[in-house]
Amino acid sequence: MSKIEICIILLVVSAFANGLVAQETTYDRVKRARSITFVGDRQNMPYASDRDSLPGIDVELARLIAKELKIRLYYRWIDTSHENLLEFIENGEADLALGVAQDSRQVGRKHHRFGEKVTFTRPYYSTGYVAVVPKSRPGSVSSFRNPGKVTIGIEQGALIERKLQQWNVPAISYSNQLAVLLAIRKGDVDAGALWADAGYHIHENPGLNVQLAPGFTLDTELQMNVVGAVRREDGKFVELINRGLQRVIESGAVQQVLHRYHVPFFSPAGKQE
Would you state the pLDDT for residue 146?
A: 86
Residues 15 and 117 in one domain: yes
Residues 235 and 195 in one domain: no
Could you tell me if residue 217 is inside a domain? no
pLDDT surpassing 70 at residue 12: no
In the chain, the number of structural domains is 2
Which pLDDT band holds residue 233 (cuts at 50, 70, 90)? confident
Could you tell me if residue 107 is inside a domain? yes
Would you state the pLDDT for residue 15?
A: 47
Residues 199 and 252 in one domain: no
Could you tell me if residue 15 is inside a domain? yes
Would you state the pLDDT for residue 273?
A: 57
Length of the chain: 273
Residues 108 and 161 in one domain: no
pLDDT in tens, 28-64: 999 999 999 999 999 999 999 999 889 999 999 999 9
Instruction: Tell me the three state secondary structure of residue 231.
Output: strand
Would you state the pLDDT for residue 169?
A: 95
> HSE (CB half, 13 Å, CA atoms) of 255?
7
Task: Answer whether 37's CB lies under 8 Å from 96's CB.
Answer: yes
Residues 27 and 91 in one domain: yes
Could you tell me if residue 191 is inside a domain? yes
> What is the pLDDT averaged over residues 215-230?
92
**Residue 190 is part of a domain; what is its CATH number?**
3.40.190.10
Task: Answer whether 228's CB lies under 8 Å from 241's CB.
Answer: yes
> 138 or 154: whose pLDDT is higher?
154
Could you tell me if residue 3 is inside a domain? no
Smallest CA-to-CA distance from 154 within 211, 208, 194, 188 is with 194
Residue-range definition of the domain harbouring residue 83: 9-125+227-260
Q: CA-CA distances (angstroms) from residue 184 to 101, 230, 240?
A: 26, 39, 45
Could you tell me if residue 2 is inside a domain? no
Which pLDDT band holds residue 182 (cuts at 50, 70, 90)? very high
Would you state the pLDDT for residue 23?
A: 76
